[in-house]
Amino acid sequence: MTNLEWALKYAGRGWHVFPCNIDKTPKTVNGLHDATIDQAQIRCWWEKWPSASIGCACGAMSGIWVLDIDLPDGPGVLQSLQEKHGRLPDTLMQKTGGGGVQYLWKWNGRQIRNSANKVGRNIDVRGEGGYVILPPSPHPSGGQYEWSVKSQMIEAPEWLAELVMNANTKTQAMNRASTSSYGQAALAGEIMKIAQAGEGSRNDTLNAAAYSLGQLVAGGEIDQAEVESALMGAAMGRGLTMKEARATIKSGIDAGMKEPRHGNKSVESVETVETVETVENPPFQLNQLNPVENQLKTQLKSVELTYDALKEWILLDNRRFTLQDVYRDFNLRDLNEKKTVSTYLGRLIKQKLIEREGTQRGVFNCTSREKASSIINIYNTKTQKWEEEVSYLDIYCPLGLDGLVGLFPGNIVIVAGESNVGKTALLLDWAVHNLKSSKPFTSKSSGRYGEVNYFCSEMGGTELTMRARAFGYPPAAWEGFRAYERSEDFHQVIDPDGLNFIDFLEIHDEFYKVGAKIRAIHETLDKGLCIIALQKKTGKDMGRGGEMSLEKPRLYISLSEAVKGAVSVAKIIKAKNFKTSWNPNGMQIDFKIEGRGSRISELTEWRYLTQTEREIQNRKYEVELGQKKPEEFKFMLKDGTEVVLRTRDVEAWMKAFSHINVEKELLRISQNSFMKPWMSDNWFYQLSGYLSKKDREAKGER
């Protein structure tokens, strides 16, 4: 069954579902709040994201709550609880793919909310306001969620329900706890470290800060909610995305809370009764702190919210927002900072970028000037017939993208790639094969443009000439190629009606500006196109600026290395206008760059791959290229004989059975054979037959 079929099946049970990424984050704007049992909406989602994980809202909505047992300590803690209270009855259970298990319990009408490590170490609760991922979704570890006990879902025993309710009560009490003077000074110090961290050490510094402060949370020195809010604001101020910052903060705090730490008890704690939501009275004033804390707080205030940062935050997705959203996301607690926000919002209202929502106080909507800037006539009887097919630009795109995705005048394309993965090779190929002057020399050329503009932020004339010469075309083929050295303010120099390439858009800090720079280019374009290269981190899909870079492009391609220096992967992150009957978002193609960056050789077709399938394919490339050798495996036969499988046989099976992880299967069989031998002297053929069967099953054959 496909993920769509499973999602529909769950919805049929009354479970409200929604699509998620492999890292468990929602794909939809409102995430959990978009969860539904509407089958038309579910079909629409999974037709757009066929491989999306299946998120399920917990609580009264779906009638379930979940007890999540994680490694390494969760199973042992649960065993101790069962020895004390009694064995848990059989209910619906799933394996998470990361080695943990989840018990699904029938909703009992109580207010069961989310908690982490409150029932016990590595035991979490998912209730009202939470969600879980359901089978057969992939797990970030490379495993897969799967049902382990398919019993009917029942209500949890009374002792467990009471334990969970008490955990919720303790959590609420902890969230109301006051912050000591020592804890506040420690928080300010950690925020300063994050503010001063270099680009390459931001995430590590954030993790260390979260760990240290997590110890103080467990020691009762500081409020957990305050820590999370402060760290999130500091992290976003240093250019980390909300998603990656949230994951790092949670991991660090959870780890730190396992080792409680207390401060200097001679320092009196500062008691506060105001909540984070109180606008009029900040939680503390500078004169309440001792001189050391005062200095730290003064330094901390130098990391301030700017008008541009707030504007970009709002324009990211034309969001509806409240004052509390701003305070939380930018970690604003001081009264003067909140007054500054009011000033900025007033300017944005005057510019008609935002407006107040009715009579509701502190609620705003983004008006988005683009919505009403001009009237779009969808049908002009003088120039077209209603039945005519949409006419895309006749433009060549590398890697066969022009067969999948259509581009219109005024569009922006983003190519985000790691260093040395082939961004420049792709852009040069794209540029030269759209020149009229190159048409006599290559069959690839569409010959649409008399000139293309190529803006380089790194290459000088000598290097660019060498790269162009490697294509093997005569100078006449490059006649309309106009290259310029440029590193900023591209919107001032691009041709609004021409074909433009930016290699690449450099941003070294304040990554929220990426969205603003792309938007400025978009507003300059008229009938032209602009292909923009961005740098991105290894392992990330999006380039510098994260989601800020995703707003305007109609096509977004992510480039990564499958095998360092040898094989690259292009993945479609966003394609708004696809020519195919299927949705190509999420599809991948493998290729290699040859001839000093002049030749792009496609190794596969465009296809969807799970994370596990990607890892299997990468491993096969490494073996084929001689970078790694297949493992040798030993097996114990029934008669006590130990045999060894030859490396060349493993390599042959990896090629023959391409739909499974051959080495993983052989390792499992090898381990089992020593515990319970089952193979005879025909062991080689038994192994081959078993792998063949697994490969057919993976292909959907019997």
Return the bridge partners of 601, or none.
592
Question: Is pLDDT above 80 for 200?
Answer: no
Whether 457 and 507 have beta carbons less than 8 Å apart is answered as no
Of 542, 550, 530, the residue nearest 490 (C-alpha)? 530
User: What's this model's pTM, rounded to 2 decimal places?
Assistant: 0.46
Q: What is the mean pLDDT of residues 248-256?
A: 84
What b/e string do you get for 316-341 counting C-beta neighbours within 10 Å, with b at 16 or more?
beeeebebebbbbbbbbbbeebbebb
- Would you state the pLDDT for residue 177? 42
Question: Is pLDDT above 60 for 268?
Answer: no
- Would you state the pLDDT for residue 510? 52
Q: What span, in angstroms and rounded, lies between the C-alpha atoms of 237 and 278?
A: 23
Strands 481-485 and 452-456: parallel
Q: pLDDT per residue over 648-683, tens digit each?
A: 788 788 888 888 888 888 988 988 888 888 899 889
- Would you state the pLDDT for residue 171? 45
Amino acid at 136: P
Among residues of the chain, what percentage have pLDDT more than 70? 82
Structural domains of the chain, with CATH: 3-173 (no CATH), 181-366 (no CATH), 398-612 (3.40.50.300), 629-698 (no CATH)
- Would you state the pLDDT for residue 379? 53
Q: pLDDT per residue over 407-451, tens digit each?
A: 999 999 999 998 888 899 999 999 999 999 999 998 888 888 999
Q: Give the helix/strand (H/E) hosting 639.
A: none
Q: pLDDT per residue over 156-178, tens digit each?
A: 998 898 888 876 554 444 443 45
Q: pLDDT per residue over 107-123, tens digit each?
A: 877 778 888 777 888 88
Q: What is the mean pLDDT of residues 192-202?
A: 75
The CA R_g of the chain, rounded to the nearest whole Å, is 29
Whether 21 and 241 have beta carbons less than 8 Å apart is answered as no
- Would you state the pLDDT for residue 368? 55
- State the virtual CA torsion across 374, 378, 384, 387 in degrees, nearest 10: 170
- Would you state the pLDDT for residue 475? 92
- Where helices occur in 610-661 by DSSP H, the ranges are 611-624, 647-656
Q: pLDDT per residue over 82-106, tens digit each?
A: 988 889 999 999 988 777 899 999 9
Can you say how many angstroms the Cα of residue 197 is from the centroid of all Cα atoms in its chain?
23
- Would you state the pLDDT for residue 472? 92
Quickly list DSSP for 470-533.
TT---GGGGTTEEEEE--S-GGGTS-TTSEEEEE-----S-TTHHHHHHHHHHHH-SS-EEEEE
Highest mean pLDDT among 92-106, 237-251, 335-349: 92-106
- Would you state the pLDDT for residue 397? 95
Q: What span, in angstroms and rounded, lies between the C-alpha atoms of 248 and 245?
A: 5
Among residues of the chain, what percentage have pLDDT more than 90? 25
Distances (CA, A) of 348 to 138, 166, 306, 368, 413: 43, 46, 13, 11, 29
Q: Which residue carries 């037709």 as its tokens?
A: 47
Of the two residues 490 and 619, the one the predictor is more confident about is: 490
pLDDT band at 612 (very low <50, low <70, confident <90, very high): low
pLDDT band at 390 (very low <50, low <70, confident <90, very high): low
Question: Is pLDDT above 50 for 302?
Answer: no
